[in-house]
Amino acid sequence: MRKNLEVTMCQENSSQLPKRFSIKDRFRGFYPVVVDVETAGFNPETDALLEVAMMTMTMDDNGYLQPDEIMSANIRPFPNSNIEPSNIAFLGIDPFDESRNLQDERVAVLPMFKAISKKMKKEGCTRAILVGHNGFFDLSFIHALAKRLNYKRCPFHQFTVFDTASLAGLVYGQTVLARACTAAGIEFEDDKAHGAKYDTLMECKLFCSIFNRYTLFAGFPDPIEQTLLDFRAHLKDKEDPEKTPDSCKTE
């Protein structure tokens, strides 16, 4: 891992027992990764990417998700990229301030891609799926970056995301990240908002809260393959004339 790539372990899994549940089975081979980007505009093709953070999750023996590892970097704007003054004023940063430990996109993000691919394969998954607040926006910048770098092994699904804004609106009635976290009982520090690393951590906690709340309520669902087999067997029973109510009548 590159020297300037910030890696923080949030929680270690001390259990040595075999996992009863797996991310692979729960998400149909997808590996959820929380991602947040801060940008100098809204056009992923032309506007500069300024900050990026990615966070993985682990699943415990009871099928609950918890934060795992976070990777973050401040990005040096790519050559000839557009920078909207209004976005910079909103973020309150100087995109060319080298004291922020700026890194070129390739140096900063490719190690993240490779680390995620390694974890994804370890879990037996085939594709990472982006988790983010209005995640389609983050995904568009991630894919635009991969295209600029001509990187063919971007681990993220081309278009599917788990959007925490939509999920929080459904579960907690709040779509703003700070309010959704508060509704979920997660402490949110407003003065740290709109930084990629902090927002990624909060989005990860929010997603875990929603996922674990559902799992606690509904239980860990059976694999979809078994559900389909059971449903097809049910349909077959309904179509079997020997098992219809009429077949039970006596003459």
CATH number at residue 148: 3.30.420.10
User: For residue 1, is it within any domain?
Assistant: no
Residue 194 falls in the annotated catalytic set: yes
Pick the more confident residue, 175 or 241.
175
The response to whether 38 counts as a known ligand-binding position is: yes
pTM equals: 0.81
Q: Token pair for residue 69?
A: 């590892």
Is the pLDDT score of 239 beyond 90? Answer: no
pLDDT for the residue numbered 243: 55
242 belongs to a structural domain: no
Say whether 37 sits in a helix, a strand or coil: strand
Give domain status of residue 234, yes or no.
no
| More confident site: 193 or 147 | 147
- The amino acid that residue 240 corresponds to is D
Q: Which of 133, 157, 194, 234 is catalytic?
A: 194
Give the span between the Cα atoms of 156 and 176, in whole angstroms.
24
Q: How is residue 115 written in tokens? A: 């680390």
CB 164 within 8 A of CB 203: yes
In a domain, 230, yes or no: no
Band the pLDDT of 155: cuts 50, 70, 90.
very high
Domain span at residue 217 reads 6-222
Burial of 46 (0-12, 13-18, 19+ CB in 10 A): middle
Answer yes or no: is pLDDT of 149 > 80.
Answer: yes
Residue 238 lies in a domain: no
Q: How far is CA 12 from CA 93, 138, 201, 221, 227, in A?
A: 33, 27, 16, 25, 33
What is residue 103's DSSP assignment? E
pLDDT at 174: 97
Give how far Cα 34 sits from Cα of 7, 52, 192, 202, 236, Å. 14, 11, 18, 10, 42
Number of structural domains (the chain) is 1
Per-residue confidence (pLDDT) for residue 67, from 0 to 100 = 97
More confident of the two residues 194 and 12: 194
Kindly tell me if the per-residue pLDDT of 17 is higher than 70. Answer: no
pLDDT tens per residue, range 58-78: 999 888 999 999 999 999 999
Residue 14 has pLDDT above 80, yes or no: no
> In which band, very low, low, confident or very high, does the pLDDT at 18 lie, cut at 50, 70 and 90?
very low
Task: Please choose, from the candidates 69, 44, 240, the residue with its C-alpha nearest in 3D space to the C-alpha of residue 143.
Answer: 44
Give the per-residue pLDDT at 24.
Answer: 92
Q: pLDDT band at 113, cuts 50/70/90?
A: very high
Q: What per-residue confidence (pLDDT) applies to 227?
A: 54
Is 36 part of any known ligand binding site? yes
Model confidence band, residue 217 (pLDDT cutoffs 50, 70, 90): confident
Q: Please give the structure tokens belonging to residue 31.
A: 């590996």
199 is in an annotated binding site: yes
pLDDT grade for 8, boundaries at 50, 70 and 90: very low
Q: Which of 16-20, 58-62, 220-224, 225-229 has the highest mean pLDDT?
A: 58-62
Confidence of residue 216 (pLDDT cuts 50, 70, 90): confident
Q: Give the residue carrying structure tokens 């997603």.
A: 207
Q: Is 104 annotated as a binding residue?
A: no
Residue 43 belongs to a domain: yes
Any residues with CB less than 8 A from the CB of 145 and at least 6 apart, and which? 49, 105, 109
Q: pLDDT grade, residue 163 (50/70/90)?
A: very high
